[in-house]
A = this chain, B = another copy of it.
Amino acid sequence: MMLPVALDAMGGDNAPGEIVAGAHRAVAELGVPVVLVGQPEVLEPLADGLEIIAASEVIPMSADPGSSVRRMKDSSLVRAAEAVRDGRASAMISAGNTGATMASALLRMGRIKGVARPAIATPIPVPGGDPTILLDAGANAECQPDWLLQFAQMGAVFARSRYGIEQPRVGLLSIGEEASKGTPLVKETNALLAASEALQAAGGIFIGNVEGRDVMTNDVDVVVTDGFTGNVVLKTLEGGMRALVNAIFASFGTTPETQAASEVLIPALLPLYGTLDPDNTGGAMLLGVDGLCLISHGSSSATAVVNAIRVAAELHEAGIVERLRTAVASG
C-alpha cells in the first residue's frame, strides 16, 4: 500500500480548516492516503478518522526560516520532513512559510548526492498548453553556472515526470537570444548548457537563451534562471495578471448593457480563469532534496490542497526522486 502524504495542517493563510478539508477530499476523491501533521488539540476535532503526526509547534508565515527551523524542532514542518526521511510518508506538502518549508526539507531529508543547491520549480500557467516550469523561483538569490546547469537537468526531469513531455525544451532566461547577451552568470551558463551531455542524458534539449516574453508561451518547457530573477518573474506575472483581470472585470460593470453581456461571457472565460488560478497548478516542487517536497501557495484553498496531493501521488508514482538522483549522477 502507498505511503501517506504528510500534510502540514498548520501552514497557510487558511489553515487548518481548508487544509484539512482538502485532505478529506483527496482521500475521498483520489484514494490517496494522507496523514495530518500538527497540533493534536487543534486537529483531532477535524481529523474524522485521518491519522495525525503530533507536532506541538507552528512556524509562523513571517518567521525567519533558518532560525525557526533550528529552534522549533517539534514544529509541523520539521515533523513532516522527518516523516518523509524516515519512510513514514511518500511526500510532504505545506502551504506555510516557504523558506521554512525549504529549510525543513533540506535539513531533515538532506540533498540528493551531487546536488549543489536545491531549487524551487514553479509551474507558470500557459493558456492552451502545459505550464512552463520556471526554476529557480526563489530558493537561491545568488547562483553559480554549475548550479544552473543542475537546475536545467532537474527541471527537465520534472517536466517529463509531471507533464509527460518526452524531450523538454530548456531555455536560459536572458535579455536577448544571442549567447553574448546578459550577465557573466548567463554567458557562462549558456556555454555550459550548450556543451552539456548531462542535460541530454536527463532528456532535455537546450534551445538557447529565452526572454521574459517567452515564459507564458508554448515555445519553451523549462526556463532556467537564478532565484532572484525567477522570484521577480513569478511575482511580476502574478501582479500583472491580477491588475489586468481586475481592470477587465471593472470594465464589465461599466453599464447595465455591459453587465448583461459579461454574464453571457463569463462561462466562456471560466476555463481560462481555471488555467490561471494558482489553486489548480498543484504547487511548486523543491527539486534536489532527498525526498518529495511540494510547496503550495500561502492562500491555498481546499482545492489547492487536493491538487497538490494529487500531484504528490503522481510524482511519487513516477519515482521522481530516483529519476533526479540518476540524472544528477550522470552529470
Taken together as a complex, chains A and B put the C-alpha atoms of A122 and B307 apart, in Å, by 39
- The interface residues of chain B lying within 8 Å CB-to-CB of A315 are none
A244 within 8 A of B: yes
Q: Which of B128, B214, B227 contacts A247 (CB 8 A)?
A: B128
- Give chain B residues whose Cβ lies under 8 Å from the Cβ of A175: 138, 141, 227-228, 231-232, 235
Cβ contact within 8 Å between A126 and B217? no
Inter-chain contact B269/A251, CB cutoff 8 Å? yes
Question: How distant is A317 from chain B, measured CB to nearest CB, in Å?
Answer: 31
Q: Given A141-B183, A182-B228, A244-B127, are A236 and B264 neighbors across the interface (CB < 8 Å)?
A: no
Asked whether A235 and B257 contact (CB < 8 A) given A128-B247, A141-B183, A240-B240, the answer is no
* Contact in complex: B217, A243 (CB < 8 Å): yes
By the criterion CB–CB under 8 Å, are A251 and B268 in contact?
yes
Chain B residue at smallest Cβ distance from A176:
B231
A330 within 8 A of partner (CB): no
- Cα A254 to Cα B264 in complex, Å, equals 11
**How far is it, in angstroms, between the C-alpha of A194 and the C-alpha of B262 when the chains are bound?**
47
Asked if B239 and A236 make an inter-chain contact with CB atoms under 8 angstroms apart, the answer reads no
**In the complex the two chains form, is A264's CB within 8 Å of B257's CB?**
yes
For A186, A234, A240, which residue has the most chain B Cβ atoms within 10 angstroms?
Answer: A240
**B251 near A173: Cβ-Cβ < 8 Å:** no
**A232 x B235 contact (CB < 8 A):** no
Q: Is A255 an interface residue (CB 8 A)?
A: yes
A241 to B255, CA, bound (A): 25
Question: Chain B contacts of A241 at CB under 8 A?
Answer: 240, 244
- In the complex, the answer to whether A183 meets B239 with C-beta atoms within 8 Å is no
A215 cross-chain contacts in B, Cβ below 8 A: 236, 239-240
Collect the chain B residues with CB atoms within 8 Å of residue A235's CB.
175, 211-213
Cβ of A269 to closest chain B Cβ, rounded Å: 5
- Confirm or deny: A238 has a beta carbon within 8 angstroms of a beta carbon on chain B: yes
B265 and A252 within 8 A (CB): yes
| A265, B258: Cβ atoms closer than 8 Å | yes
Shortest CB distance A213–B (Å): 3
Distance between Cα atoms of A211 and B237 in the complex (Å): 11
Closest to A228 in B: B183
The CA of A262 and the CA of B263, in the complex, are separated in Å by 11
* Alpha-carbon separation in the docked complex, A247 to B243 (Å): 16
Interface centre among A232, A235, A246, A272 (most CB of B within 10 A): A232
6 nearest interchain CB pairs?
A213-B239, A212-B235, A212-B236, A127-B247, A261-B264, A261-B261
Residues on A lying within 8 angstroms of B by beta carbon are: 126-128, 138, 141-142, 173, 175, 181-184, 186, 211-217, 227-229, 231-248, 250-252, 254-255, 257-258, 260-262, 264-265, 268-269, 271-272, 275-276
